Amino acid sequence: MKKSVMFRLGMALLIIVALVGCAPKEKPKVTFFWALYDGLTEDFRASVEAAFNKSSSDAQVQIVPVKWDDMQTKLTTAVAGGTPPEISVVGTRWILDFMSTNSVDEVSQYLSKATMDNINPAAMEAKVKGKLMGIPIAAGARILAINNDIAKDVPKTMEELEADALKVTKPPKAYGLFMVGKSFTELTDFAYYFYAAGGNFFETKADGSYGKCTVNSDAGVKALTFMAKLALKDKVVEDKFTSYTRMDGHPLFYAGKIGYVMIGAWVDSAMKQAGAKFPVTYASIPSFAGEKPAGLIITDSIAFFTKAKNLKAAGKFVDFFYQDAYKGKFDQLVGFPPTTLSAAKDPFWQSPLFQALNAAALTARPWPLVDGFDTLNNEAWKACEKVFQGQASPKDALDAAAAAVDKARGM
């Protein structure tokens, strides 16, 4: 009897072991912080996630949507807490900060040769000392969009833009110009005017490195003085402009209430999603009279985070995502020109918008890839808000911003 019981127990144990051995192993999980660009839809995010998880036998992905305003804080907190995602969309300029703590890894070691060969070399802004520290996900110059139901003139200078905006402003029905007046995760709206005035954010040394902050240069003071004039004296911008970030305010343009807006390539897809019907002209952002054309070009990247567990699996997901069926669709939704060579051949891009983006890119300048840019971003926004609220002159506000940036950088 004892032998029979022991035999049955032994057989049961063998069956349990066999079942455990046959149980499917959980696929390595990739967490991807997915930035919520204008134009992206939840359906598209979910479709990319589902398609990869269905097709992959050895990896799975969780795509986590994150608002742009929250992205840097969420990502920095995750990295500091030792629980970073495998991959995340980042502002390319953030990469230097993550490199300083050895938090990001060189990306090409995780990607296939086919993916790397298909990336537009001009978009590889995240190359640091010969190593590509982020694969470009979005790159595009900023342009001027003109609602032709309100305004038809295409200004050649900032001074002409002011005159045109004054001519068409008829509140509350229509405003000549959109302006962001509330601190935002990006400094773009100051940069448009600053670059248009010939400004540089930092001194450039002979070896190419950056010196002291020059946001308070004559160009900076001219730019912020002009912005304040447009908003506070000319009153050509939307009511309560100091309460608007970009994400909050751009729908005013899509709704047909703004004549001119400086905006990114997503404008076309965002207008379609909003049901906008008015005709639009696209042009380069003008510079001030006597200054060379110099718009702004933005690059965002996908970075791989060193302390995450499944970086090889993350590389397989990026290879999958960068196929035209997914990355090409992503580019069309957000409106940025493709970062892959194959997607750029799609007839979708042979349009007036894309032609304007190409023309703007010829003279556009990127953000300086410099340590401490976040401090610059925050301090320059503080300066703008002080001026808009009548708390300081442009010169005093920008002097304080430059001093704070230099102090933070140890200068």
Q: How many helices (H) and strands (E) does the chain have?
A: 15, 14
pLDDT recorded at residue 73:
94
Domains 29-139+299-358 and 143-295+372-408 share a fold: yes
Query: Are the C-beta atoms of 97 and 73 separated by less than 8 Å?
Result: no
Q: Tell me the CATH architecture of domain 29-139+299-358.
A: 3-Layer(aba) Sandwich (3.40)
Sequence length of the chain is: 411
CB 155 within 8 A of CB 293: no
What does the alpha-carbon distance between residue 407 and residue 316 come to, in Å, rounded to a whole number?
43
Mapped to the 3 state alphabet, what secondary structure does 214-264 carry? CCCCHHHHHHHHHHHHHHHHCCCECCCHHHCCHHHHHHHHHCCCEEEEEEC
**pLDDT (tens digit, 0 to 9) for every residue of the chain, 411 residues total?**
455 555 565 555 555 555 545 545 688 999 999 999 988 999 999 999 999 999 999 999 999 999 998 999 999 999 999 999 999 999 998 998 899 899 999 999 999 999 999 998 878 888 887 889 999 999 888 999 999 999 999 999 999 999 999 999 999 999 999 999 988 778 999 999 999 999 999 998 887 778 999 999 999 999 999 999 999 999 999 999 999 888 889 999 999 999 999 999 889 889 999 999 999 999 999 999 999 999 998 889 999 999 999 999 999 999 999 999 999 999 999 888 888 989 888 898 888 998 898 888 878 888 888 877 889 999 999 999 999 999 999 999 999 999 999 999 998
234 dihedral zone (left: phi>0; alpha: psi -120 to 50; beta): alpha
Return the closest-CA partner of residue 382 out of 355, 368, 364, 400: 400
Domain range summary for the chain, segments of one domain joined by +: 29-139+299-358, 143-295+372-408
Per DSSP bridges, beta strands 210-213 and 202-204 are antiparallel
Residues 6+ apart with CB under 8 A from 2: none
Per-residue pLDDT, 16: 55
Return the structure tokens found at 43. 């359906």
- Joined together, the tokens standing for residue 203 give 């001194």
Kindly give the interhelix angle for 373-388 and 218-228, rounded to the nearest 10 degrees: 40
| pLDDT of amino acid 24 | 55
Looking at domain 143-295+372-408, what is its CATH homologous superfamily?
Answer: Periplasmic binding protein-like II (3.40.190.10)
Token output for 184: 């935002």
* Cα separations in angstroms, 52 against 207, 261, 308: 45, 37, 20
CA atoms within 13 A on the CB side of 172: 2
166: enclosing H helix or E strand: helix 158-168
Tell me the CA distances in angstroms from 267 to 140, 141, 181, 252, one per residue in order: 12, 12, 20, 12
Angle between helices 218-228 and 394-408 (to 10 degrees): 130
Give the C-alpha distances (Å, rounded to integers) separating 97 from 41, 103, 127, 225, 331: 30, 9, 14, 31, 27
Q: Is the pTM of this model over 0.85?
A: no
